[in-house]
Amino acid sequence: MGVSPMNIKQVLKQLDFEEREVDIYCALLALGNASIREVAEKADVNRGTTHELLKKMLKRGIVNYYPKGKRRHFCAEAPEKLIEIAAEKQEQLRHASIQLANEVIPNLNRLAPDTGSPKVTYYEGDEGIEKVLKDILNVSEKSKNKNYNVYSSQAIRKYLYRPFPNYTVQRIKRNIRVKAIAIGPGGEEAPLSERKWIGDKKDGTQASYVAIYPPKCAMISLQEGNYPTAVVIESEAISRSMELSFETLWGLL
């Protein structure tokens, strides 16, 4: 099965190729070797633009040329050259990720004034809740014990993972443990999880979910029409206090 020109452009766009560069490269592959005029006609790209893009592609090593009389004739490097370009980009991204983690992000964080005040972020809708759930996993995975604690009411359970249905699978895959205090009956058992129950006078009909994952805690609830909203508080002091309260209650159940 052949690959459509649109798919080729989509893939090469991720390697920082312009659409017209892809057209020129494919034209050269079809022509074998050609003058700028011939390439421009085959690629259906303005001649002046073709000339400028060919110079750019020469620097990247994806095309080459040889003199023919007073003019240059161009040819495309073998498509396997694209694998080399992809590998180089991957290595550059790996190096950039290391620099981000070790240098750039710490320096950027120093730009913000240290007021000592908790950072509060508000989220809403399924898209917002998905971001919160991913944050719980990401932060917990980096924690010393790879665990977090939650309070979860019966009323919110069928809505909580709606935007992220494989949340539990991801949690288990990352080897993250969770302890849950369920408000009201129900709740599914799963690997790497422990659950205890407490009742309330409304049998857990108040939809709420509180995750404690220092230095953060997230509070998720449902508004009218089962519309989810969340508040995430980033504060070492607050999250540790909530963690202490959770562990004390856990020990009493």
Q: pLDDT tens digit string along 1-31?
A: 445 666 888 888 888 999 999 999 999 999 9
Q: Averaged over 133-148, what is the pLDDT?
A: 94
Q: Which of 76, 94, 111 is the last residue of a domain?
A: 76
Is the same domain home to 131 and 30? no
Shared domain check, 45 and 152: no
Number of domains in the chain: 2
For the stretch 128-140, pLDDT in tens is 999 999 999 999 9
Other C-beta atoms lying within 10 Å of the C-beta of residue 144: 6
Residues 72 and 126 in one domain: no
CATH of the domain at 49: 1.10.10.10
Residue 138, pLDDT score: 95
> Does residue 57 form part of some domain?
yes
Q: Which residues contact 137 (CB under 8 A, 6 or more apart)?
A: 167, 170, 171, 174, 176
Residue 175 DSSP one-character state: T
Q: Does the global pTM surpass 0.85?
A: no
Residue 83 in domain = no
Rounded Cα–Cα distance for residues 210 and 178 (Å):
12
**Mean pLDDT over the full length of the chain:** 88
> At residue 177, does pLDDT exceed 60?
yes
Whether the predicted pLDDT of 115 surpasses 70: no
Dist CA 74 CA 67 (whole Å): 9
